[in-house]
Structure 1
Amino acid sequence: MAAMLEARELNLTLDFCLRVGELLLSSGAGAADVTATMQALAWQYGVRNPEVDVTFTSLSMSFQPAPEEPSVVLIRQVKQRDIDYEDLTLVDHLVREVLRGEVELKDARTRLARIVSSGHIRPRWAATLGWGVMAAGVGLQLGGNAAVVVIAAVAAIGIDRLQLVMGRRRIPFFYRQIAGGGLATLIAVAAAASWLDLDPSLVVTANLIMLLAGIGFMGALQDALTGFYVTAGARLTEALLATAGIIAGVSGGLTVADLAGVSVDRIDVGTSTLKDVTVMAVGAAICAAAFAFASYAPRRTLLPIGLVAAVAMVISQTVRIGGVGSTWSTALAAFFVGLVSYTVAGRLRVPPLVVVVSAVVPMLPGLSIYRGLSLLGEGAGYTSEGLLAIITAASIAIALSSGVILGEYVAQPLKREAHRLESRLAGPRLVGPLKVRSRESSRRVRRRSSDPAARD
């Protein structure tokens, strides 16, 4: 009976770890972070040194109690689900409480089931409006007038509803991206053919950035840098297919525009001024905050995320005005985002992933992709320039991902050393204890001190 109870406890522990890992991985967390979290949870509940295998579509966890006993192996498939930063935040809080010894396994499983099954904190139509505001922010960031901002928002709302309907019919993500890119271009072409005074290329670019926002370039590069090459390859393949779908949809829409005789010019990036940088910063703040809202991030995070994105955009454009290329200026801005994400996320009590992903969305290379497609559509004389613009877009995406990850690598040791310095040099705290010990850990310490066998 004791062996059966131990086996039951082991299975429940491994299943709990797998369910937490599934939610983290489907929310965009790196495979290294998922593995470390699962191992820490298992260790906390008494399962020492389990084997964890993370791929893009499945998670497996095994444990062998002794060499002469068979291994216990559990496998869980990773289901694709909508990104919900509220669920991610609640699970992060649960993990921290478990690692502090405050939650027993049964209660932790109950809380996790409640988090996963409770649904979104906002109605789906509110998220759709969030996507519209995000595209409007990008239109403002690109220097568009009121007509561009309104049409970009309307197109984004239409794209989100179209992709939602297609998703319910289980149509693959690649075709949903094609439909989104085509719809954005056709709406821009229709607006350009009307009496409205607007630049349709700005509308297309604004919705390109909206479509690029859900692609996991950063997770793919993080997995590659941390040695999870299978997961990195799968994520990169998905990202490339999604981007190819956007390119196919937009190029199809541009072909329709040519057949209809509507001119959709490419955007030529000129020299920015201080006024332009200010407008771009405001647009970037709106875009980042709206993306976080549409991804169900807690409301307390919206303003700080917008401020981080605005500062990052100012850094990027200021460095670019100084003569540095777009790739390096984007990398420096992304490094800033990664550097401050841990401090901001710690004060907001959310995972750093929520701050990082939302803040880099305004810097996604939608402009370079659109310029490349426009140049490729103008004929053989512009093929080399178009390919160069596409390559620039790829380099900007890599610069964003690598800059953020480098900032995270630098931020973690700095935060750790700052805490140690505070512990060594700080005098009596005026408010709050210097170090909090949980009730459960204090109980275990007292139990060890009173039990001679435990001390031995």
Structure 2
Amino acid sequence: MEAALRGGREPGVGTDAYATLDLALRVGELLLAGGDTAESVDLAMARIARAYGLPHTENNVTLAAVGMSYMPRGDRPPVTAERRVRRRTPNYTRLVAVDGLVREAAAGRLGFQQAKFRLSDIIGRPTAYPGWAQAVALSVLGAAGAVLVGGDGSAALAAFAATILGDRTGAMLGRRGITDFFQMALAAAIGTLVTVLLVATDAPVPSGTVIIGVVIALIPGRALVVSMQDGIAGDLVTGTTRLVEVLFIIIAILSGIGSVTYVAARNGVPISLEHLPTAPTSVAAPQTLGAGAIAASFAVFHLVSRTLLPPVALGGMLAWAVLVEMRGLHLPAAPATAIAATVVGLLGTAYARLAHVPALVCVTPCIAPLMPGTLMYRGMLELTTGRTGPAALVLAEALATALAIGAGVYIGGELLRVARPARRVLRPPRRVRDSRPQ
């Protein structure tokens, strides 16, 4: 990450303008790197600038950079600054802390120097969970995903092993500079290989649930939700870029699954659609608890604070229950998922307002149980057996279901905004006295 200021310090433009822009850009950079939407980043930057004396700024937020320009009154030249985001690592605990800083600054309860020191403290804090806990959480997510689609204890154990093996192998490749695309493809291939070995050895394990659990763990649910929110909100450049990123990751997962299943089928391994689990038609305790475990594991992996884990787990169980009930009414996968995501988006946003945290932190983990892992695996099996037409239809349904998740979450938040609009940019508050650069 780096910062660049363009335009010299011209007479009549105080250094406080540069300091305020720098603070606003650092806030925007942390929010964007932490996984927030372009709309939220833009709003936070505007609130910081307005709170510390720059009421009229033009902001530019893209996936790789945040920029801000201030036009002083009179004949003075504009002040323009930009910070680039080199690495985007979701950290929802930091996201909540920065959001709290913005709220206090906008309310006039935080002086400028206090805000600078507070932001430095947030940056220097250790993560909510160590790295090994994140790896274990992702593997638990895969195991819970296997249970979600009807797997037993042995399937959960196999999915746990396959997920952690794929994740650690991908991390090793990442340290050697291999791109995320090949990391995800290899992780999916390892999960599929475990499934193939279970089928080839006639192991008494529901093999289809294993690979579906791995796929649920690998699908980029956070990026999917944020991309749809950016696109619907009108940030088309950022939303389109995020969506393309999501599609490439999904293609990587499908490539890993397809390559292994094709080789296995050519070598006589009897992989067929019979190994796929059937969709549940009623709410059952094991699957509901599995959905809660998926949501909580997703939250730990994205560094959500411990205090939010219980409501997140409840939200995941609610999302799954609504989905099952909708499928019980014979709704197709995409509209049923959209309804479940809308319910989660509405209630999750309402809870986030009460807890004074960004809605993304409460909502995104809850939609993890809705990921179309079964459809993706079914589509690749159809493709490897030469049934191109049915395969295209199933994969298109999987993509539509994935997009319905992001759209449903946004619609739920908008329904709450219609009933109770959230406060946007505040008027310049009366700041507490502090020392500023002059």
1:378 Cα deviation from its structure 2 partner: 0.6
The one of 159, 164, 170 equivalent to 2:177 is 170
- Say if 2:209 and 2:277, in contact at 8 Å, map to a contact too: no
* Structure 2 residue matching 1:101: 3-state secondary structure: coil
Give the whole-Å Cα distance in 1 for the aligned partners of 2:111 and 2:322: 46
The match for 1:393 is: 398
* 1:442 positional shift: 9.6
- The answer for the alignment partner of 1:231 in structure 2 is 238
Q: Does 1:407 align with 2:412?
A: yes
For the structure 1 residues 189 and 127, does the alpha-carbon distance in structure 2 shift closer, same or farther, using more than 3 Å as the test?
same
**Offset of residue 166 of structure 1:** 2.2
1:283 to 290, 294, 317: 290
Residue 272 in structure 1 maps to residue 277 in structure 2: no
Q: What secondary structure is seen at the aligned counterpart in 1 of 2:258?
A: helix
| Unmatched tracts of structure 1, length 5 or more | 420-439, 445-456
- Do the aligned residues in 1 keep the contact of 2:20 with 2:52 (CA within 8 Å)? yes
Q: Give the match's secondary structure for 1:29.
A: coil
Report the AA paired with residue 410 of structure 1: L
* Structure (1/2) with the larger helix percentage: 1
Contact 1:178 1:246 in 2 (8 A): yes
Q: CA deviation at 1:45?
A: 0.6
Gap change, CA 1:107 and 1:384, over 3 Å in 2: same
Displacement, 1:24? 1.6
- Report the Cα offset of residue 347 of structure 1: 4.0
> Contact (CA 8 Å) 1:215, 1:239: kept in 2 or not?
no
Whole-angstrom distance in 2 between the partners of 1:203 and 1:254: 14
1:34-433 mapped onto 2 (5 Å cutoff): 34-194=41-201, 196-213=203-220, 216-266=223-273, 268=276, 270=278, 272-274=280-282, 277-379=284-386, 382-416=387-421
Which letter does structure 2 place at the counterpart of 1:181?
Answer: A
Deviation at 1:100, TM superposition (A): 1.4
**How far is 1:218 from its partner?**
1.9
Contact 2:98 2:119 in 1 (8 A): yes
| C-alpha distance in 2 between matches for 1:249 and 1:271 | 24
Q: Deviations over 1:363-409 (max 9, x none)?
A: 01111111100001111xx2111101101011101211111101001
CA radius of gyration, larger in: 1
Do the aligned partners of 2:35 and 2:89 also contact (CA within 8 Å) in 1? Answer: no
Q: Is the 8 A contact 2:129 2:300 kept in 1?
A: no
Matched letter for residue 62 of structure 2: T
Gaps of 5+ in 2: 1-8, 424-428, 434-438
Q: Secondary structure at the match of 1:216?
A: helix
Q: Which is further off, 350-359 or 112-121?
A: 112-121
Which deviates further from its counterpart, 261-270 or 347-356?
261-270
Question: What is the alpha-carbon distance in structure 1 between the residues aligned to residue 367 and residue 40 of structure 2?
Answer: 20
Per-residue deviation, residues 38-64 of structure 1 (Å, max 9, x unmatched): 111100111011010111111111112
The residue number in structure 2 matching 1:25 is: 32
1:184 Cα shift? 1.2
Give the TM-score, by structure 1 length.
0.86
Deviation at 1:103, TM superposition (A): 1.4
8 Å Cα contact 2:10/2:77 also seen in 1: no
Which has the bigger relative contact order, CA under 8 A and spacing at least 6? 2
Report the Cα offset of residue 117 of structure 1. 2.9
Report the counterpart of residue 6 of structure 2 in structure 1.
none
